[in-house]
Amino acid sequence: MVWYKMVPGGCMDELFQEMMGVDSKIALEFFYGELGEMYGLRSYDKDQELSYVASVLAHYAQTSRSDGTLSVPLADSLSDVFDLVIMQEFETKDPDILEISGSHVLLLAGFFRQQMSRRHNVKWYDQIGQSLYFDAARYCPDRRKRLLFEQISDSFPEWTGICSTLQKRFWENRFLLRLG
């Protein structure tokens, strides 16, 4: 891994961001590469999970909380997920809504685990995430997605741990920019 000190103070100005030209494909490749490097194992089954988790992180890295076009608004914290899933007696058989809710838990209880653990029992939310993906698999008509959701459900705590470790690594290297 090659890191170069490029960003004093940890902030990129608009010109630098424009020069970087990050799009969906680049964000996906970035997270896939970083997760793959951390995960180390790239068997076919785990590669599908790796691709999925990378796509979740890439998607939310480029999604604004103020985007009014989202079917389910991006949760601000695990409290939002709790309110949606538990307090409102969330009983849906819509696999898309279940997947979106599960991906919010994956992002918040995984990538933002340290911050969320100050206010929430993140291990309990790992179980909530597992349940959401389990239900998404149960109601999903597409066989391939159903199998993927089952795999994500089975290994959800592992993925939140990997995402948490990735965030810590990013934080430790926040003043560095990877080139090439």
Residue 112 lies in a domain: yes
Q: What is the predicted pLDDT for the residue at 53?
A: 94
Residue 35 lies in a domain: yes
Q: What is the predicted pLDDT for the residue at 138?
A: 96
Q: What is the pTM of this model?
A: 0.78
Contact 125, 110 (CB under 8 A): no
Residue 115 lies in a domain: yes
Residue 145 lies in a domain: yes
Contact 81, 125 (CB under 8 A): yes
Q: What is the predicted pLDDT for the residue at 83?
A: 72
Rounded Cα gap, residues 1 and 56, in angstroms = 23
| Structural domain total, the chain | 1
Q: With a cut of 70, list the residues of the chain below it in pLDDT.
A: 1-22, 41-45, 65-73, 86-91, 177-180
Q: What is the predicted pLDDT for the residue at 72?
A: 62
Rounded Cα gap, residues 177 and 180, in angstroms = 10
Residue 27 belongs to what domain range? 3-63+75-178
Residue 69 lies in a domain: no
pLDDT in tens, 112-121: 888 887 888 8
Residue 68 lies in a domain: no
The first and second tokens of residue 161, run together, are 């741990």
Q: What is the predicted pLDDT for the residue at 69?
A: 61
Residue 46 lies in a domain: yes
